[in-house]
Amino acid sequence: MKKDGHIHTEFCPHGTDDAIEKYVEKAIKLGYDEITFTEHMCYPEGFKDPSPANDSVLLSEDIDKYIERIKDLKEKYKKEIKINLGFEVDFIEGLEEKTKELLNRYGEAIDDAILSVHIVKVGDTYRCIDFSKEETQKLIEETGGIDKLYKRYYETLKLAVESDLGKYKPKRIGHFNLIRRFCKEFPYDYNEQREIIEDIMKIISEKGYELDFNVAGLRKEGCGELYIDGFVREMADKYNVKMVLGSDSHTADTIDDYSEYIK
């Protein structure tokens, strides 16, 4: 079965205004059997977007509109492709209970979902890990070095996998190596973090979770690699973790055939 499990929409504040039908029709043309729209879930109430652009997630007032839009498309295209209504949910250290409340509020509508780490806590401050090379440089300085930044990221990812977010917790872990978004500007041999990476993969396997086989890094200036590559891919194979292709498309143009990468 051909599936893309990570697609954004016109509701994404940092995306494009491509109509959702364009994504669906491109997927049908390419022979996909199933797709999941995973728009960025709004943050828990009271949490301030740490992105300098303040455009990371859906506005809370748009959630119901998004849900109804996808439900309409599921019905419209039901004879041509399976469409799942989903969300990409941010794991935010220290806000597990509030995130659980958010998931409980919308969980019954969700067919499929992703749990991702875009934010790490440094001291009492929350910072985005993938906004820009300038912000990444600041983060490296704040954490005390690139090795410590990678360690902080994987520690947060481990917390996400282990977290109790209730019965609607997403069962697929997003872009495992998003920390490498600017790896060309900030080279680092992440094999130095082998122990914690293997620990995380063991837990993912034990819990029966999936991995988002995210190809977006290939398209990103400053990255140029899969977000599940090298040692991470080896560990996923070693522990028999299921991987689901994720184009992480924010524009219909990037819905494509990526099957050569996930063989």
Residue spans of the domains in the chain: they are 3-254
Average pLDDT, the chain: 96
Structure tokens at 12: 């994404």
pLDDT attached to residue 260 = 86
Between the alpha carbon of residue 140 and those of residues 49, 52, 101, 147, the distances in Å are 20, 17, 32, 8
Task: Compute φ and ψ for 101, nearest 5 degrees.
Answer: -60, -40
* pLDDT at residue 262, as a whole number: 75
Q: What is the pLDDT of residue 263?
A: 67
Instruction: Output the 3-class SS for 223-240.
Output: CCCCCCCHHHHHHHHHCC
Task: Name the CATH topology of 3-254.
Answer: TIM Barrel (3.20.20)
Q: Evaluate whether 201 touches 236 at the Cβ level (below 8 Å).
A: yes
Tell me how long the chain is: 263
Which stretches of the chain score pLDDT less than 70? 263
Q: What is the pLDDT at residue 21?
A: 98
pLDDT in tens, 131-140: 999 999 999 9
In whole angstroms, what is the distance from residue 89 CA to residue 141 CA? 27
Cβ-Cβ contacts under 8 Å for 204 (sequence gap 6 or more): 161, 173, 211, 239, 241
User: What's the pLDDT at 131?
Assistant: 95
Amino acid at the residue 246 = G
pLDDT value for 6: 98
Which residues, other chains included, contact 171 with Cβ-Cβ below 8 Å and sequence gap of 6+? 113, 115, 207, 208, 209, 210
